[in-house]
Chains A and B, each alone.
Chain A
Amino acid sequence: MPTLQTSRARAAALAAAGGLLLASASAGLAPRPGTASSHREAPLISGQPQYDNTDVYAFVSPDRPDTTTLIANFLPFQDPAGGPNFFKFARDARYDLNIDNDGDSLPDLTYRFRFHDRLKNANTFLYNTGPVTSLDDPDLNFTQTYDLTLIRRVDGNVHSVRDIAGHAPVAPSNVGKASMPDYAGLRAQAVRAAGNGVTTFAGQADDSFFLDLRVFDLLYGANLKEVGNDTLRGYNVNTIAVQVPTRHLVKGNDPVIGVNSTVSRLTASGEYAQVSRLGSPLVNEVVIPRGKKDAFNASTPWQDARFAGFVTDPELPKLIEKIYKIPAPPGPRQDLVQAFLTGVPGLNKPARVRPAELLRLNTAIRPVAKPDRLGVLGGDKAGFPNGRRLTDDVVDIELQAVEGELLGTKNDLGDAVNANDVGFGKAFPYVAQPHSGSDVRGAAKPGARASGASATKDGEQVNLLNAGAVEDAPDGDGGPLSALPVAALSAAGGFALAGGLLWWRRRRPATGRHGN
Chain B
Amino acid sequence: MRPLIAGVSAAGLVAALTLGSAVVLGRPSGAPAASARPAGAPGSGIAGLQARLREQPRDASGWAALGVAYVEQARVTGDPAYYPKADDVLRRSLREAPGNDGALAGLGALAAARHDFHGALRHADRALAANPYGQRAAAVRVDALVELGRYDQALAAARRADSVRPGVPVFTRLAYVRELRGEVREARRVLELARASATERGDLAYIAAQLGELAWNDGDLGRAGREYAEALRVSPGHLPALDGRARVRAARGDVAGALADRAETVRRLPLPRHLTEYGELLESAGRRDEAERQYAVAAAWTRIAKANGVAADLETALAAADHGDPKTALRAARAEYERRCPGPGVRQCSVHAADALAWALHVNGRDAEALRYARQATATGYRGAMFRFHLGVIEKAAGKRTAARRDLAAALRLNPRFSPLWAPRAGAALDDLGGAP
Instruction: Tell me the A residues contacting B by CB distance below 8 Å.
Output: 22-52, 75-79, 82, 85-86, 88, 90-92, 213-214, 217-218, 220-221, 223, 231, 235, 265-269, 271, 273, 275, 290-292, 294-295, 297-298
Contacts and interface: CB of A to CB of B under 8 A. Distances in A.
Interface in B51-89: 52, 55-61, 68-69, 71-72, 74-75, 78-81, 83
Given A28-B270, A38-B313, A220-B58, A273 B163 contact: yes
A265 B170 CA distance: 13
Residue of A40, A41, A92, A297 contacting most chain B CB atoms (<10 Å): A40
Interface stretch (B127-135, B253-261, B282-290): B127-135
A25 B302 CA distance: 15
B310 A44 contact: no
B159 interface: yes
A77 B37 contact: yes
B31 interface: no
A18 B247 CA distance: 37
Contact of A294 (B52, B134, B271): B134
Nearest to A273: B166
Contact of A45 (B35, B159, B166, B193): B35
Contacts of A235: 40
B200 A31 contact: no
B304 A295 contact: no
B106 to A, nearest CB: 9
B162 interface: yes
6 contacts: A34-B113, A38-B313, A38-B314, A43-B172, A266-B197, A268-B162
A64 B289 CA distance: 83
A29 B193 contact: no
Nearest to B37: A77
A48 B167 CA distance: 8
Contacts of B23: 28-29
A29 B55 contact: no
Contact of A25 (B13, B164, B301): B13
A78 B172 CA distance: 26
Contacts of B134: 294
Interface residues of B, number: 107
Contact of A268 (B4, B56, B193, B203): B193
B183 interface: no
A49 B38 contact: yes
A109 B170 CA distance: 31
A214 B143 CA distance: 35
A213 B41 CA distance: 11
B4 A22 contact: yes
B55 A52 contact: no
B83 A34 contact: yes
Contacts of B13: 25-26, 29
B174 interface: yes
B197 A36 contact: no
B132 A295 contact: yes
A76 B41 contact: yes
A446 to B, nearest CB: 23
B162 A32 contact: no
Contacts of A52: 38
A148 B358 CA distance: 58
A47 B109 contact: no
A399 B203 CA distance: 38
Given A47-B35, A86-B199, 14 more contacts: A30-B80, A31-B301, A34-B83, A39-B147, A40-B176, A42-B169, A46-B169, A79-B40, A85-B199, A221-B55, A266-B197, A268-B162, A269-B163, A294-B133
Contact of A265 (B36, B55, B167): B167
A354 B71 CA distance: 45
A28 B81 CA distance: 10
Given A29-B270, A220-B56, A45 B68 contact: yes
Contacts of B101: 291
Contacts of B352: 38-39
B143 to A, nearest CB: 7
A37 B168 CA distance: 21
A41 B312 CA distance: 18
B115 A24 contact: no
B363 interface: no
A42 B315 contact: no
